[in-house]
Amino acid sequence: MEISELQALLTPAGLELLDALGPVESTADVARTVSRLRADGHSPDLVSAVVGQAHLRSKAAAKFGPFAARMLFTRAGLEQATRLGVAARHAQRFRRAGITSIADLGCGIGGDALAFAGAGIAVHAVDADEVTAAIAAYNLAPFGDSASVQHGTAEDADLTASDAVWMDPARRTAGHSETRRVSADDYSPSLDWAFDLASRMPTGIKLGPAHDRDALPSDAEAQWVSADGSVVELVLWTGALAREGVRRSALVIRGERSHELTAGADANDAEVRELGAFLHEPDGAVIRARLIGDVARSLEAGMLDEKIAYLTSDAAVTSPFVQSFRVRETMAANPKAISAVLKAHDIGTLEIKKRGVDIDPAAFRKKLTLRGTQSATLILVRSGSQRRAILADRVPSAA
């Protein structure tokens, strides 16, 4: 979004037109709506802004639920924004630490700042991009004086009135739509500056979940977070926000429920063993946090292979930190052998998972014969020097 489009949108008439549009979900919807509004005589800037916002609001419902219907976005800002349910957990941690005021440096469209303000914490949000800062100010306006937004850099922000800092360093090139990832050396603010600040006051720093673990401060708590099966972030917590004795954490969120595994260091891996009656796939947050061994021991399980993140056990025990599968049969990982087993089990609907093998599941599926009435999961995996195919059934997730 350009500043001219934002200026056209942020008028009573522009906002009224946006609210009257309703959902604009598909590309075809966008084209039809643009044509109709232009035919009605609206300016190109206003039409572009209004239709773009309506389209982004439809996409934003997955992250912000019903709140999306009154928010404004940029495409890049929406892609990088924290999901509201995850942001609420950030706010809870600040509240538990007794924090009453936060500086949100690199606030984007204000996803985390909304959660902080909603939790009763005064928030001063800062963003280096003028359009993004203006959109954050609009989104935070319902909180009045308890939430303010400044257009400026994190390095120049006044922190004297803040008890703590939340920081989301820009990990992509500047822009509101087409952006690309940059290396950690080019984050803004720089990680050296961010880590130095975090060493002096309570701070939460949001990073990508694949961030180089060797580059993390040794005295910070590193928490990997997954939401509904996807690892969405790594957060470093320092000062009063870091829990005593915790240096590694995996927070697994499914819907409204969450489970957390914590440790003082990376866990030692479990021993490798033969495939048992059950196969367990650790959640991505557990894998990133390197706490697979702790989960294995809780399930009385072993590793299927020392380099592959699959666990196996004989006991019918599962955990919120894994997806468990009951093994039906194993076979050679070739389409002919697999198709014969699928036919014998009357399998017509097949989920295909793979780990440690160079196989494209979509292409592999086309080589299989699927004509039955039953469903199952096929797991293609390397074990030692062998490629194996495991036919299995999903076990309901633990509460």
| pTM tops 0.95 | no
Q: Determine the pLDDT at residue 182.
A: 66
What are the tens digits of pLDDT across the range 225-241?
999 999 999 999 999 99
Both tokens of residue 80? Answer: 């990088």
End-to-end alpha carbon distance in the chain: 43
Extents of the domains making up the chain:
3-73, 78-263, 278-394
Instruction: Report the chain's mean pLDDT, rounded to a whole number.
Output: 93
Domain range 78-263, CATH class:
alpha beta
SS3 324: strand
pLDDT tens digit string along 343-381?
Answer: 999 999 999 999 989 999 999 999 999 999 999 999 999
Give residue 173's pLDDT.
Answer: 57
pLDDT given at position 255:
85
Measured in whole angstroms, the distance separating CA 93 from the mean position of its chain's CA atoms is 18
CA distances 173 to 76, 158, 167, 179, Å, are 10, 25, 17, 5
Spatial separation of the C-alpha atoms in residues 191 and 220, rounded to whole Å: 14
Say whether pLDDT at 126 is over 60: yes
Top-confidence residue, 202 or 255: 202
Rounded mean pLDDT of 328-347? 94
Tell me if 189 sits within 8 A of 206, measured CB to CB: no
Q: How far apart are CA 51 and CA 49, in angstroms?
A: 6
266: exposed, middle or buried (C-beta count within 10 Å: 0-12, 13-18, 19+)? middle
Model pLDDT, residue 171: 74
* Per-residue pLDDT reduced to its tens digit, 278-289: 999 999 999 999
Write down the pLDDT at residue 3. Answer: 85
**Per-residue pLDDT tens over the stretch 158-211:** 999 999 999 999 876 565 555 556 667 778 899 999 999 999 999 999 999 999
